[in-house]
Structure 1
């Protein structure tokens, strides 16, 4: 009897030991669901970043769309109320002590001024976009019906003096380019007596030309476009990208590139930026990300790198 009892107890002990080893194996071999695997990279943590951009007025809608796209994959980044003004006004803001992390100008000359003023880090400067200068009119106007299909309206037509014209004032790069182009057909006089890309488009006059008394100056290229849309003028000189921003206008002619300086939008990180690294990362992404490139194209902007 005792012999059978010892055998039964030994068997029970052996069974218990097997069970214990099995449980131990389960507890050490299985990983908790909420624990990361050793070979899995940990999610990178980021400190919250707020970026302040100063951008040329013509970039407003395109830049808003690109910023929204950027924050979808960079949720630690927010954009403060981006300032869209003429490039000259942006420089004035910086000169007055306004803070910005990034400056995007619609003119190389305006960016040169920003560099000379010490507002941007010249080492970060690069050419971002290129653009074209076009002549637009109200979409339901007689000029639209006559020239809208083939865009055959020319600077020579403007020089007849038969049309009221809107251009940007001297603080607006699009206005400078328009003045340069108009000088080639005798509609703008530069003090130097030179014309086209050899002048700045500043300091001259329309007086004594076929456009004497026929020019409506505006403080932004957006306002110039609206003058044509409303019918306040017959013809407005704007960027091709502005046609994507505003409804109600139609392109009737493209201004020849050889009549004005190249239209380039330079970008740079501001010298006093407290988020210089994040600002540079955004600019790099904006020129390399495939979806960002599509957005720029949809709004009529062509990257210099393309």
Structure 2
């Protein structure tokens, strides 16, 4: 092969290689543009205006309202619909019936378990957000009942009592404590009956707020509520903290709902609410401890 032919073939090969490289570069550029476009669309979606719907246990009402207001102040594109504050069991039933929410915060691990079993929450997002204490309270002006009242004294038959019904987690914990003192027939705190000296001395109600009001008004001598409820409602004073070993740990699990369309915004709010110093100060003010 002469020199001219070799030069010609080298030139053809160089042109072919240049063409391949140009096509590869073009394809790589298209891929990069596609990735950037997808990323921009995702960022735009995250940055758009979002309204979050939260279902939360009654006991969180005042604290969570404040935290939501702080979050919207810091993140104007995120607002909150009318947050539903109800007994945790009632909120689970609402979700089962098709009500829409982005976040569920329960006052009971068992109620969150119910929601998870029904496929209503994203189990991967679940975490324990708060802890609380169970306390016995009476009207703030009632001097007839001694401070430091023990559980055994409370079930002696000398006092009338109010607890939440089975839809109210605080009521479940109260009944567990009463069972430990021989005054309730089921150690789980559900499905049993009040026994012994208090068999006909217990009033049930559908929310911890109403339970507190029974004690405040003097309708009953003693009510079993969360320590945070004393901050929330007032009008009552703490007689004593119910021993923690008499009931299951009081935790408030939080989770995103299943197939939530606003999952990123909802998770961002939960992360902020559990870590931001301003949010932590609000929780502390209302008697909640982060788990």
| Alpha-carbon distance, 1:185 to partner | 1.1
User: Is the radius of gyration larger for structure 1 or structure 2?
Assistant: 1
| Alpha-carbon distance, 1:131 to partner | 0.4
Aligned-partner Cα distance in 2 for 1:272–1:200: 32
**Unaligned runs of at least 5 residues, structure 1:** 1-43, 191-198
Instruction: Show the 5 A alignment for 1:1-306.
Output: 46-143=47-144, 146-147=146-147, 152-190=148-186, 199-206=187-194, 208-304=195-291
Task: Answer with 256-265 or 268-277: which moved more.
Answer: 268-277
Higher helix share: 2
2:29 maps to none
Secondary structure, counterpart of 1:187 in structure 2:
coil
TM-score for both structures, normalised by structure 1 = 0.79
Aligned-partner Cα distance in 2 for 1:111–1:130: 15
Between the two proteins, the alignment pairs up a number of residues equal to 247
Aligned-partner Cα distance in 2 for 1:59–1:238: 13
Secondary structure, counterpart of 1:181 in structure 2:
helix
Cα pair 1:143 1:252 within 8 Å, conserved: no
| Alpha-carbon distance, 1:200 to partner | 2.1
1:15 maps to none
- Distance change (3 Å), C-alpha of 1:143 and 1:282: farther
Aligned-partner Cα distance in 2 for 1:277–1:53: 14
| Alpha-carbon distance, 1:288 to partner | 0.8
Runs (4+) of structure 1 exceeding 6 A deviation are: none
**Unaligned runs of at least 5 residues, structure 2:** 1-42
Aligned-partner Cα distance in 2 for 1:73–1:135: 38
Secondary structure, counterpart of 1:232 in structure 2:
coil
Aligned-partner Cα distance in 2 for 1:205–1:96: 29
Cα pair 1:164 1:235 within 8 Å, conserved: yes
Aligned-partner Cα distance in 2 for 1:83–1:90: 8
Q: Deviations over 1:33-87 (max 9, x none)?
A: xxxxxxxxxxx97210000000000000000000011010100011000000000
Aligned-partner Cα distance in 1 for 2:151–2:205: 20
- Distance change (3 Å), C-alpha of 1:214 and 1:280: same
Aligned-partner Cα distance in 1 for 2:86–2:155: 30
CA RMSD of aligned residues (A): 1.1
Secondary structure, counterpart of 1:241 in structure 2:
helix
